[in-house]
Structure 1
Amino acid sequence: MRHDPQVDAWLASRHGELGDLARRWFSQMRRSGNDVRELIHDGCPVACAADVAFGYVNVFSSHVNVGFFRGALLDDPDDLLRGEGKRMRHVKLQPGDALNERALAHL
C-alpha cells in the first residue's frame, strides 16, 4: 500500500497522546488488506477498500474517534461502538481509559 502524503502530514501534525492514538489505529486500518487506499475526506484520514470507505480517525480536543462508515452492520459483542445514525458508528478513545484493544482491532 502506498501512503498518501496528505494523510501522513495530517497524522504527523497531531501531537501528544491523542496523536499517538490516531496514528496507532489508522496504522491498523492501513494493514486491513492489500487493496486499502487512503485519503483525506471531510478533514480527516479515511481508509478505503478499493473505492469504498470503511474507516476513519479524527482527533478532537480530548479524544480520538475511530469510526466505521458501515459500523451499524458490524458485530460488536463488546459494545464498543457508539452512534445512532443509519450506518456510521465510532469508538471514542481517551488517553488513559481502559480499552479492549483486541475487540477494537477485530472490528
Structure 2
Amino acid sequence: MADLFRLPSAVRRDPDVDAWFAQGDALRGMVQPWFEELRGCGADVRELLHDGHPTVCVADAAFAYVDAFAAHANLGFFYGAALEDPAGLLQGVGKRMRHVKLHWGRPPDASACRDLIAAAYQDIRLRLKGGA
C-alpha cells in the first residue's frame, strides 16, 4: 500500500472540477463524458483537481484523470501499466501511468474505454486492500 498515490484532499464532488469543465473549451467537453464515467464507478469515488486536471480517487488513492491539451485530450490511469488492454488503446512508457489519447474526428473504442475505466477502478480497490 505504500506505493499508492494518495490525494487526501479528494472530496465526493469538487466544485473546482465542475469549474474546469465549465470553461467552454471543446477538448474539455470531449473528456467530460469520460470523467462522468469515472465519477460513476462507485460510492467510494472522490475527486479533485490535481496538477490542474480533474482526478478521481477511491477514498484518497488516485486511479484516473482527464486532461485537455491544444490538439488532443487524455483519459489517463495512474496504474495503467498494470491494466489489460486488448484493444491497444493505452499509450505511455512510464513505470506505472498510461493514457488513452483522444483526437477530434477519431472517436475511441467506447466499449474498450469503459472496460479500462472499470478495470482501473477494480485495480485500485484491490490495491487498497493490499492485494495488488
For normalisation by structure 2, the TM-score amounts to 0.77
**Which of 36, 39, 59 is 1:27 aligned to?**
36
Deviation sequence 1:28-81 (CA, Å, 0-9, x none): 100111100000111101000111000000000011110000000001011000
One of 61, 67, 71 as aligned partner of 1:58: 67
Is the 1:14–1:59 contact (alpha carbons within 8 Å) kept by the matching residues of 2?
no
Alignment partners' CA distance in 2, 1:94 and 1:14: 17
Q: Measure, in 1, the Cα distance between the counterparts of 2:109 and 2:56.
A: 22
Q: Which amino acid aligns with 1:41?
A: H
Q: Report the 3-state secondary structure (helix = DSSP H, G, I; strand = E; otherwise coil) of the residue aligned with 1:48.
A: strand
Q: Match of 2:15, as an amino acid?
A: P
CA distance, structure 1, for counterparts of residue 107 and residue 40 of structure 2: 23
* Paired positions, count: 106
The whole-number CA distance in structure 1 between the counterparts of 2:86 and 2:19 is 35
> Structure 2 CA distance, aligned partners of 1:79 and 1:67?
14
Greater CA radius of gyration, 1 or 2?
A: 2
Mapping of 1:38-77 within 5 angstroms?
38-77=47-86
Structure 2 runs not aligned, ≥5 long? 1-10, 117-132
Structure whose residues are more often strand by fraction: 1
Q: Is the 8 A contact 1:46 1:53 kept in 2?
A: yes
**1:98: how far off?**
3.6
Are residue 93 (structure 1) and residue 102 (structure 2) matched? yes
Structure 1: which 5+ residue stretches go unaligned? none
Aligned equivalent of 2:115: 106
How much does 1:14 deviate?
A: 4.1
> Does structure 1 residue 5 correspond to structure 2 residue 5?
no
Seen in structure 2, the aligned counterparts of structure 1 residues 86 and 14 have a Cα distance that, compared at 3 Å, is farther
Matched residue SS, 2:48: strand
Cα distance change on mapping 1:14 and 1:22 into 2, 3 Å: farther
